[in-house]
């Protein structure tokens, strides 16, 4: 897994980098077929914005979160991303299962 963390109008400190990588470990623990992750942290007016693009086989998952606190934005971002990954993982498992059930009925 390749993890890239960049900042737009924001200096990415080692503490923020470590916090983001720890939070994203939760996602990779649920689904280990992650190709790479690209995180962009930015400041827009008074809000902190966190965006992530997760590359998995056959799909790119994009999630963003905006909050006045950067750490809260990252927390919300990882929760949203975790839900999307779980949904994608379930869809893959159901898709494979649906084909085998149909073949047994014929």
- Domain count for the chain: 1
Query: Please, what sign has the CA dihedral across residues 84, 78, 63, 21?
Result: negative
- Report pLDDT for 94: 78
CATH, residue 48: 3.30.160.100
- Mutual orientation of helices 70-105 and 14-30 as an angle, nearest 10°? 20
Structural domain span for residue 93: 2-105
Which residue in 84, 6, 1, 81 sits closest to 39, CA to CA? 6
pLDDT in tens, 70-104: 999 999 999 999 999 888 888 888 765 555 444 44
pLDDT in tens, 32-84: 888 899 999 999 888 999 999 999 888 899 999 999 999 999 999 999 999 99
Could you tell me the pTM of the whole model?
0.81
Which residues 6+ apart lie within 8 Å of 11 measured at CB?
A: none
Round the CA-based radius of gyration of the chain to a whole number and report it. 17
């Amino acid at each position: 897994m390749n993890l890239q963390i960049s900042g737009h109008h924001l200096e990415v400190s080692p503490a923020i980098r470590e916090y983001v990588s720890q939070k994203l470990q939760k996602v990779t623990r649920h689904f280990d077929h992650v190709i790479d992750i690209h995180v962009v942290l930015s400041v827009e007016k008074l809000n902190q914005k966190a965006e992530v693009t997760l590359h998995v086989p056959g799909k790119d998952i994009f999630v963003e979160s905006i909050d006045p606190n950067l750490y809260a934005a990252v927390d919300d971002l990882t929760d949203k991303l975790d839900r999307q990954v779980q949904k994608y993982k379930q869809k893959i498992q159901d898709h494979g299962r649906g084909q085998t059930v149909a073949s047994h009925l014929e």
